[in-house]
């Protein structure tokens, strides 16, 4: 089931209005590194590439609400004579070219629930929502790559553009897209992610796991409650919370291989209000991450057994909600090599570098459960000044990275189809 693009056309004007003011073309660090039609497209559409990113940045949308974003992408693809298929809700796919061989390129659309603090001229106009992870750039670069590929004299197969909603939630939009059949006929898939630790003009690649699995833990405790002068007559719920906070991460570190990068970090704890009353309920929330796919599959029963053992002597009741999130993004060797070579072809010998595994999660991993592929880290740091980290209200990126990303995606797709 797809949604007619015409239904969304009117919405693009809302986003287009956000990209106001003069927009200067950014430096194309790969100019002259061809193919000629790619150089020509970037030279002609450089300003548009920046304007798309700024329009999306100014009007960010949260997970599964990316209607204007979907509309902008669908409209631009349709104007180029392509036939995007809008998914039920949000997100879309679009095939370019023809033939039996098919490679996919993926970008994510959603923003984060953060109040922007950048003071950019195109800062978020939506209170409490901003693109703090670079998804606005991911979307603009994939749109640019698709429109550039559409000008190629002849492609050696098909390139499928996947514009995915809801990467920042669990379960993420990748599962929805896979279930909808977007990987049908796809032989390989690529994605880029902004990296503020790498300078513009570099792409970080790594064979094997490049991100980590990430689960959410929520533990609700219950107790009859009582007076703090008589903890022996009740179940001391706050003491139990403290035991879980301090002991559960430590016990996990003794039960799993430390080389796996498995780490449990608490983010929220709630209980009580009075200094002299043991509360009847409490809540503990945190994230559990690991870089090892096998260990990830074993963590849920292990955590449950440890929580049971820790709380058994205290008489405190509990309900554990262990929400499995995403597996590690595991880059396949050949695909990683193609991304590496695409960076060199796009920028030059210094365009590719190695990178380390991140403890962050990314639902691009779900595509790699079904088809081989790779994700690369695209440098977006200007090379001087502070490195503004992802998921912070001050995050921004150097827009010179946009044409680099377009080039890498195009070169990776062409090389994959020719492999």
Give me the mean pLDDT over the 145-163 stretch: 97
Per-residue model confidence as pLDDT tens digits over 253-285 = 999 999 999 999 999 999 999 999 999 999 999
What confidence category does residue 21 fall into, taking pLDDT thresholds of 50, 70 and 90? low
Given a cut of 70, whether residue 98 has pLDDT beyond it is: yes
Query: Which pLDDT value is given to residue 7?
Result: 38
Phi, psi of 65 (to 5 degrees): -120, 15
What confidence category does residue 388 fall into, taking pLDDT thresholds of 50, 70 and 90? confident
Given a cut of 50, whether residue 9 has pLDDT beyond it is: no
Pick from 144, 71, 131: nearest CA to 105: 144
Q: Where are the alpha helices (DSSP H) in 96-191?
A: 135-149, 173-179
Largest CA distance in the chain: 82
Question: Cα 218 vs. chain centroid, distance in angstroms?
Answer: 23
Query: Which pLDDT value is given to residue 12?
Result: 47
Give me the mean pLDDT over the 224-245 stretch: 97
Query: Which pLDDT value is given to residue 5?
Result: 43
Given a cut of 90, whether residue 205 has pLDDT beyond it is: yes
Where do the domains of the chain lie, and which CATH numbers do they carry? 5-210+328-418 (3.40.630.10), 213-326 (3.30.70.360)
Q: How far apart are alpha carbons 409 and 161 in whole angstroms?
A: 11
Given a cut of 80, whether residue 51 has pLDDT beyond it is: yes
Give me the mean pLDDT over the 159-188 stretch: 96
Tokens 């080389």, located at residue: 259
Given a cut of 90, whether residue 187 has pLDDT beyond it is: yes
Give me the mean pLDDT over the 239-245 stretch: 98
Question: DSSP string of 218-273?
Answer: EEEEE---EETT-GGGS--HHHHHHHHHHHHHHHHHHHS-GGG--EEEEEEEEE-S
Q: Count the neighbouring beta carbons within 10 Å of the beta carbon of residue 341.
A: 17
Give me the mean pLDDT over the 389-393 stretch: 95
Query: Which pLDDT value is given to residue 25?
Result: 84
What confidence category does residue 307 fall into, taking pLDDT thresholds of 50, 70 and 90? very high
Least confident of 220-229, 321-330, 382-391: 382-391
Query: Which pLDDT value is given to residue 387?
Result: 86
Given a cut of 80, whether residue 82 has pLDDT beyond it is: yes
Per-residue model confidence as pLDDT tens digits over 121-143 = 999 999 999 999 999 999 999 99
Give me the mean pLDDT over the 164-187 stretch: 96
Query: Which pLDDT value is given to residue 6?
Result: 44
Pick from 410, 353, 395: nearest CA to 378: 353
Query: Which pLDDT value is given to residue 283?
Result: 98
Query: Which pLDDT value is given to residue 419?
Result: 87
Q: What is the pTM of this model?
A: 0.90
Q: What percent of the chain has pLDDT over 90?
A: 90
Per the prediction, the chain carries an average pLDDT of 94
Give me the mean pLDDT over the 205-209 stretch: 97
């Amino acid at each position: 089931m797809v949604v007619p693009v015409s239904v969304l056309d009117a919405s693009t004007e809302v986003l287009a209005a956000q990209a106001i003011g003069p927009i200067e073309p950014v430096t194309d660090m790969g100019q002259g590194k061809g193919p000629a039609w790619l150089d020509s497209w970037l030279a002609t559409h450089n300003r548009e590439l920046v304007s798309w990113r700024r329009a999306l940045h100014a009007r960010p949308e949260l997970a599964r609400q990316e209607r204007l974003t979907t509309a902008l992408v669908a409209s631009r693809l349709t104007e180029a004579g392509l036939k995007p298929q809008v998914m039920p809700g949000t997100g879309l796919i679009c095939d370019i070219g023809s033939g039996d061989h098919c490679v996919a390129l993926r970008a994510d659309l959603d923003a984060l629930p953060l109040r922007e603090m950048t003071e950019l001229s195109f800062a978020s106009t939506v209170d409490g929502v901003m693109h703090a992870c670079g998804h606005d750039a991911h979307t603009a670069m994939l749109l640019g790559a698709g429109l550039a590929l559409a000008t190629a004299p002849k492609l050696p197969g098909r390139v499928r553009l996947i514009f995915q909603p809801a990467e920042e939630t669990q379960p993420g939009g990748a599962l929805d897209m896979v279930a909808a059949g977007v990987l049908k006929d796809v032989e390989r898939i690529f994605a880029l992610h902004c990296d503020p630790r790498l300078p513009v003009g570099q792409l970080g690649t790594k064979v094997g796991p490049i991100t980590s699995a990430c689960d959410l833990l929520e533990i609700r405790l219950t107790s009859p409650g009582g007076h703090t002068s008589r903890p022996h007559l009740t179940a001391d719920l706050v003491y139990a919370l403290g035991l879980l906070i301090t002991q559960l991460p430590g016990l996990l570190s003794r039960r799993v291989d430390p080389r796996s990068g498995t780490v449990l970090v608490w983010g929220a704890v709630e209980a009580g209000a009075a200094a002299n009353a043991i509360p009847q309920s409490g809540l503990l929330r945190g994230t559990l991450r690991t870089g090892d796919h096998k260990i990830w599959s074993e963590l849920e029963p292990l955590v449950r057994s440890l929580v049971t053992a820790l709380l058994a002597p205290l008489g405190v009741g509990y309900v554990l909600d262990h929400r499995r999130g995403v597996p590690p993004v595991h880059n396949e060797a050949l695909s990683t090599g193609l991304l590496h070579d695409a960076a060199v072809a796009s920028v030059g010998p210094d365009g590719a570098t190695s990178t380390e595994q991140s403890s962050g999660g990314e639902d691009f991993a779900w595509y790699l459960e079904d088809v081989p592929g790779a994700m690369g880290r695209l440098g977006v740091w200007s090379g001087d000044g502070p490195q503004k980290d992802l998921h912070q209200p001050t995050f921004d990126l150097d827009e010179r990275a946009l044409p680099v990303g377009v080039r890498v995606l195009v070169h990776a797709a062409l090389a994959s189809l020719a492999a």
